[in-house]
Amino acid sequence: MKFIEEFRDKELCQRVLAKIKSYGFPAIFMEVCGTHTVSLFRFGIRQMLPPTIKVISGPGCPVCVTSQQDIENALALASLPNTILLTFGDMMKVPAKSGSLERKRAEGADVRVVYSPLDALKIAKNNPDKLCIFLAVGFETTAPATASSILRARDENLRNFKVFSLHKLIPPAMRAILEMGESKIQGFICPGHVSTIIGAKPYRFIPEEYGIPCVIAGFEPLDILQAIYMLMDMLDKGTSDVKIQYKRAVREEGNPLALEIMWKVFEEGDAVWRGLGYLPSTALKIREEFSDYDAMYLLKDMPVTEAEENPLCRCGEVIRGVAEPTECPLFKRVCNPSQPIGPCMVSSEGTCSAYYKYAPS
Amino acid sequence: MCLGVPARIVKIEGKEAIAEVGGIRREISIELLNDIKEGDWVIVHAGFAISKLDEEEADTMLNILSHIPEE
Ligand code: SF4
Ligand code: SF4
């Protein structure tokens, strides 16, 4: 298929790999996006690389970084009478103290999986007598879509549609990881699809303030290998910059129209991230102007279960790139994709689930 | 959670379009992009086209890589 097969060419991959090997010095890189995590496993890229080059996973799955309290908040919203809670499939199984959305549904709550915020909007339109709450997770890739659904709801005066925004921003999470300084990252493989929206500029602080090179990469094997090659090249030359490998989809300035729509509806707010804790100005909060569509206000006078994390689950460390899933005592023993203990095993792009599925046992 | 996939636009009606994703046709929104035409390739994510794919850039990259000498 176009734009896919060509980027899986075995011979070209071998050539790029040879280049990477020719540098002969060790390096540690972090891939920020969960889709990269999956590609690295699926195509066996980790095994192809020389053992001196390590690629560790970062906080790039929106399901994984959602805090336990936000899951409890969502469960509370799902329990409201006469309400339909709508969300993406991966949110269904995330376990919390008071259950999961899947369990709420089994107990009779109307919880539905949607593929797009527009599907959520459609369901709201078809159920005018119900309160329809879209539980919105995702980074800059998904936030413009949510924003556009809110704009549409306003245009159509759809008052029963609300959004519970758990949208978060990626570059400040990368800063938080660098500030923690636990993992000795020498380069970032930046998320390709987040970058189609934000472009290259929001990562500039990484080379400028931390001297660490960044490459925005696509998701096919050749893309990832070329990105590693570009990072090795910058390390070799002692330079650091933000480079775009994924030029067929990412422009320097990103997608200005999508950004405009996103900032029209959202403003920066504070967020609690799993693994990274409280990070000011990293959430996308619905602007006051659109508060009629903000489900956050419903929580104000509701009883919400206080979150509790499983003390043995190491998702927090996995997200920061300081622990591998195999170091978790629950991995494969009690925690698996059909009975996940933590979110990193739930989401298809979660690091634990990728290890479970692809890592040789 | 979110797989962005390449898709070809087969039909446009205002801000809505039909896109072909791996042989399956699906309705998507193109309101996040300016000047999309039928036949264009885009990345689709959560029901929205978020970026137009540039064939020339794709060819340039493959071309550069194919000039890496074999060792
Ligand atoms: S595609 Fe986007 S949301 Fe999905 S894992 Fe990558 S960066 Fe995160
Ligand atoms: S294996 Fe399960 S319990 Fe352990 S860190 Fe991963 S998700 Fe959490």
- Res B70: pLDDT: 67
How far is the C-alpha of A288 from the C-alpha of B23, rounded, in Å? 42
Angle between helices A221-237 and A10-22 (to 10 degrees): 20
Closest atom of ligand 2 relative to the A317 alpha carbon:
5
- Any ligand 1 atom below 6 A from CB of A59: no
Alpha carbons A295 and A136: distance in angstroms, whole number: 10
Residue A60 Cα to ligand 1 middle (Å): 6
Q: Quick one: closest CA in B to A350, which residue?
A: B1
Angle between the N-to-C axes of helices B55-66 and A221-237, in degrees from 0 to 180, rounded to the nearest 10:
60
Contacts of A310 (CB under 8 A, 6+ apart): A95, A330, A341, A342
The ligand placed nearest to the CA atom of residue A57 is: 1
Q: Are B6 and A2 inside 8 Å of each other by CB? A: yes
Residue B2 has pLDDT above 60, yes or no: no
pLDDT 10s digits, A85-111: 999 998 999 999 989 999 999 999 999
Q: Which helix (H) or strand (E) holds A358?
A: helix A351-358
Nearest to B68 among A19, A89, A261 (CB): A19
* Mean pLDDT (chain B, rounded): 89
> H-helix or E-strand containing A48?
helix A45-48
pLDDT tens by residue, chain A, 361 residues:
567 788 888 888 999 999 999 999 999 999 998 889 889 988 999 889 999 999 998 888 899 999 999 999 999 999 999 999 999 998 999 999 989 999 999 999 999 999 999 999 999 999 999 999 999 999 999 999 999 999 999 999 999 999 999 999 999 999 999 998 877 899 999 999 999 999 999 999 999 999 999 999 999 999 999 999 999 999 999 999 999 999 999 999 999 999 999 999 999 999 999 999 999 999 999 999 999 999 999 998 888 898 988 889 999 999 988 899 999 999 999 999 999 999 999 988 899 999 998 876 5
Ligand 2 proximity of A120 Cβ (cutoff 6 Å): no
Ligand with smallest separation from the Cα of B5: 1
ipTM above 0.85, yes or no: yes
Which residues are CB-neighbours of A131 under 8 A, at least 6 positions away? A80, A82, A83, A84, A160, A162
At residue A206, the pLDDT reads 97
Contacts of A226 in chain B (CB under 8 A): 61, 65
Q: How far is the centre of ligand 2, averaged over its atoms, from the C-alpha of A322 (Å)? A: 13
- In a mutagenesis test of the A interface, which of B10, B42, B50 is the best target, namely the one with the most A β-carbons within 10 Å? B50
Model confidence, pTM = 0.93
B67, B30 Cβ separation under 8 angstroms: no
**Substitution candidate for ligand 2 out of A341, A351, A353 with most atoms within 8 A of CB:** A341
